[in-house]
Amino acid sequence: MNWQLLPQFAITGLLNGGPIALIALGIVLIFKSSEIFNFAHGQMLLIGAMTTWWFSADEGLGLPLWTAVLLALAVSILLGLLIERLTLRPMTGQPLLSIILMTLALGQFLQGLTILTFGTTQRNFPVIFSITDPYRITLPFTYNDNPIIVILKQNLVWSFVVAMVCVIVLALFFQYTRTGLSMRATAEDHETAQSVGIRINRVFGISWAIAGIIAAIGGVLIATASGLDLSLSIVVLAAFPAVLLGGLESIPGAVLGGLIIGLAQGLVGLPNNNFFMGPEVAQAIRNSTEIVPYVILLIVLVIRPDGLFGQKRIERI
Amino acid sequence: MAVLRPAGDFDTSYEQDMSVIRKRWQWVALLLFLAALFALPAYAPEPAVSLVNRIGIAIIAVQGLNILTGYTGQISLGQAAFMTVGAYISALLVGQAGWSFFLALPVAGLGAGLVGLLFGLPSLRVKGFYLVMATLSAQFIIPWLTRNTFPNLLNGAQGMNVPVPVIKLPVIANTCFLGTTFDPETAVCLYRFATPNEFIYITLVVLIISTVVALNISRSRLGRAFISVRDNDLAAELLGVNLFAYKLRAFFIAAVYAGVAGAMLAHNLRHVNSQTVGLIDSILFMGMLVVGGLGSNLGPIFGATLVTLLEELATVLTPILITLMPDIAGGATAALRPLIFGLALMLFLIFEPRGLAYRWTLIKAAWRLRPYAR
């Protein structure tokens, strides 16, 4: 075990968990209000990032970056509302399989639409945070008398900060605004919410619009860090286990799940040549970043099927 | 629906009551249809035969999924992962160990079935959406294992080449029968299933077997237990259906079908790696099942045929799209495939959620009642 590099990999992983948490949050948000698991979230992410690129790039409209981001948010809100109205409202009352397949089909459809509109080429996403001069932090302790220095890319730190700000804003929104409260009421029980005068369809629409915003922000954050091409929609696959790890209905759970997944992904990347089973196993472990979330998921499903904070379901015949 | 018969058409014996194909003309029609399929290489161009091959392999995979999802109600996004297992087992047995393909095929099925059991284990504790996630994890873990473990055997991400299936027959009276050719090296008669025109016979024979097995599973004790688990698992358990055992059996059968389909795919493409079938194929199989009709034996056949044809439509439309939008060039097929499939599946889910098989029974019923009500 390479203790010298451990803090570096742990902190990088944790920071990488920020955007994952934000994506997981977008999925939880929709699940909480309407019990729909949005498999198309990756494509919403992709569309958010692609429209931002198009509004700001010279090949597109060439607008200033902040205008581009705002316009992309508007597009994403519209997209969220359209998705809810056109594809998921007709599915009300349908079995789980139909709804799962609907969002999967929607994801495929949006993927095709994105390729049709923007092509398959890799795009130069505008640089939001400086990439040349990373932060250097010296930790207040040493290992074998060597100081431990953690080097962090600016975009990593700021993506994490933006993601966490979004999480806090959403938490406040749910706690203190009328709309937020009505969304929580709807999540609790559809019929009761309806009987106190909440318009459920409007709540669904709003949750999809907010999910659209979150997806667009997440897409922009990830595109600034790792470039923009079609593989952006695959990033979301790391967030699915985060959602289940935290429990499907829990917002703090989604955030914690995202951070745990990020941390785990960071830790397996740690160089560990003399780790316990020889260099080949060590190499395989280092290559396992993509499946670590799913291994964690399997363990969670067997030990705690409802996740860390999920609701326990009681079944009756 | 099924009992809607013209007046005076009664079953007079137990055999008649239990038979799937009841009328002599139905037997004739079925045999004619099969004969037309087997004679396909004689009159159809090779691309069409190749398409039929692909449809056949897809049908087998979807039949397995139908038993798991359609009858037992356990949603799985891991079918393609189990296909990968079958493909690798067969590639290893035939390519490295020198087995005959026809021996390796069932072994590949069984091997995939055992892996399927492993990923079916969470079904005891979780269901519905959580189970989807458990099977989805198979979709990531299994291809990863083929890329990162046993590099000498599995050859990492490059994968391996898969030999052509061969039948060896002894030389009888100095001549080779059944279209085989004499191989001077080993002094036996060989038949190589190298081109689609030859591979189609494997596809059709396995397809007939798999269809008969699926049909009989669905109308036996096993199938009825599956259906009871799907309709209400707690009630089924109270009636004496061992939930865990039956769920695992469903997972096993589905993975066996996937393994067989995967082995056939590997030998058809003559190459296998971790990308041969992936998550997108699992989604496609699920889409085929819904388009065709869940919990119906005709469903997989209708669904796999229609969806594969739609994929083919995407390839056909590609040149047209390129002339319309020259910018897209390389991405035309990549854009059209998910677009057409996604749209078709969404339309089916909204307007025909019970699939083509249900529409087919409606059409049959309407035909029997003609010229009265539709």
Judged by CB atoms closer than 8 Å, whether chains meet at B331 and A115 is answered as yes
Residue B105 above 80 pLDDT? yes
pLDDT of residue A96: 84
pLDDT averaged over chain B? 87
Count of residues making up chain B: 374
Q: Return d(Cα B357, Cα A313) in angstroms, integer.
A: 35
Residue type, A221: L
| Chain B residues whose beta carbon lies within 8 Å of the beta carbon of residue A106 | 342, 346
Q: Return d(Cα A69, Cα A39) in angstroms, integer.
A: 24
pTM of the full structure: 0.90
Q: Return d(Cα A265, Cα A262) in angstroms, integer.
A: 5
pLDDT of residue B100: 87
Judged by CB atoms closer than 8 Å, whether chains meet at B137 and A294 is answered as yes
Any bridge partners for residue A135, and if so which? A152
Residue type, B9: D
Distance in Å, alpha carbon of B368 to nearest chain A alpha carbon: 31
pLDDT of residue A305: 75
Tokens of A200: 């459920």
For A183-211, give one letter per residue: b (16+ CB within 10 A) or e: bbbbbeebeebeeeebebeebbbbbbbbb
Closest to B353 (Cβ–Cβ): which among A94, A110, A280? A94
In a mutational test of the A interface, the residue from B275, B339, B341 whose CB has the highest number of chain A CBs within 10 Å is B339
With cut-offs at 50, 70 and 90, classify the pLDDT of residue B228. very high
Tell me the pLDDT tens digit for each residue of A135-193.
777 777 777 777 777 888 888 888 889 888 988 898 888 889 988 888 888 877 888 88
Sheet holding B166-169, edge to edge: B166-169, B188-192, B181-183
Closest to A120 (Cβ–Cβ): which among B232, B331, B345? B331
Judged by CB atoms closer than 8 Å, whether chains meet at A294 and B294 is answered as no
Q: State the average pLDDT over residues B81-88.
A: 94
Q: Return d(Cα B344, Cα B287) in angstroms, integer.
A: 9
Q: Return d(Cα B304, Cα B290) in angstroms, integer.
A: 10
Judged by CB atoms closer than 8 Å, whether chains meet at B338 and A237 is answered as no
**More confident position, A305 or B76:** B76
In a mutational test of the A interface, the residue from B133, B141, B322 whose CB has the highest number of chain A CBs within 10 Å is B133
Judged by CB atoms closer than 8 Å, whether chains meet at B342 and A107 is answered as yes
Judged by CB atoms closer than 8 Å, whether chains meet at A237 and B328 is answered as no
With cut-offs at 50, 70 and 90, classify the pLDDT of residue B273. confident
* B354: closest chain A residue by CA: A98
In a mutational test of the A interface, the residue from B66, B118, B124, B130 whose CB has the highest number of chain A CBs within 10 Å is B130
pLDDT of residue A171: 85
Closest to A101 (Cβ–Cβ): which among B234, B235, B345? B345
| Chain B residues whose beta carbon lies within 8 Å of the beta carbon of residue A287 | 144, 147-148
Distance in Å, alpha carbon of B335 to nearest chain A alpha carbon: 4
Residue B3 above 70 pLDDT? no
Judged by CB atoms closer than 8 Å, whether chains meet at B294 and A97 is answered as yes
Count of residues making up chain A: 317
pLDDT of residue B1: 42
pLDDT of residue B234: 87
Distance in Å, alpha carbon of A149 to nearest chain B alpha carbon: 32
Closest to B125 (Cβ–Cβ): which among A87, A295, A302? A302
Q: Return d(Cα B47, Cα A6) in angstroms, integer.
A: 56
pLDDT of residue B152: 78
Closest to B69 (Cβ–Cβ): which among A97, A102, A301? A97
pLDDT of residue B4: 65
Residue B374 above 60 pLDDT? no
Closest to A108 (Cβ–Cβ): which among B136, B338, B353? B338
Mark the ranges of chain A whose per-residue pLDDT is less than 70.
Answer: 1-2, 131, 272-280, 310-317
Distance in Å, alpha carbon of B143 to nearest chain A alpha carbon: 10
Closest to B350 (Cβ–Cβ): which among A90, A115, A120? A90
In a mutational test of the B interface, the residue from A97, A235, A240, A287 whose CB has the highest number of chain B CBs within 10 Å is A97
| Chain B residues whose beta carbon lies within 8 Å of the beta carbon of residue A98 | 290, 349, 353
Check residue B295 and report its DSSP letter: T
Distance in Å, alpha carbon of A115 to nearest chain B alpha carbon: 5
Q: Chain A to chain B, count of Cβ pairs less than 8 Å apart? A: 137
**More confident position, A61 or B71:** B71
Judged by CB atoms closer than 8 Å, whether chains meet at B331 and A240 is answered as no
Q: Return d(Cα B163, Cα B153) in angstroms, integer.
A: 15
Q: Which of A215, A242, A18, A204 is nearest to A110 (CA)?
A: A215
Tell me the pLDDT tens digit for each residue of B150-185.
877 887 778 888 888 888 777 766 666 666 677 666
Q: Return d(Cα A29, Cα A156) in angstroms, integer.
A: 24
Q: Report ipTM (2 d.p.).
A: 0.87
Q: State the average pLDDT over residues B274-303.
A: 91
Judged by CB atoms closer than 8 Å, whether chains meet at B340 and A112 is answered as yes
Judged by CB atoms closer than 8 Å, whether chains meet at A240 and B136 is answered as yes
Tell me the pLDDT tens digit for each residue of B107-140.
999 999 999 998 888 887 777 788 888 888 888 8
Enumerate domains of chain B plus CATH numbers.
46-369 (1.10.3470)
Residue type, A253: G
pLDDT of residue B56: 94
Cβ-Cβ contacts under 8 Å for B309 (sequence gap 6 or more): B51, B55
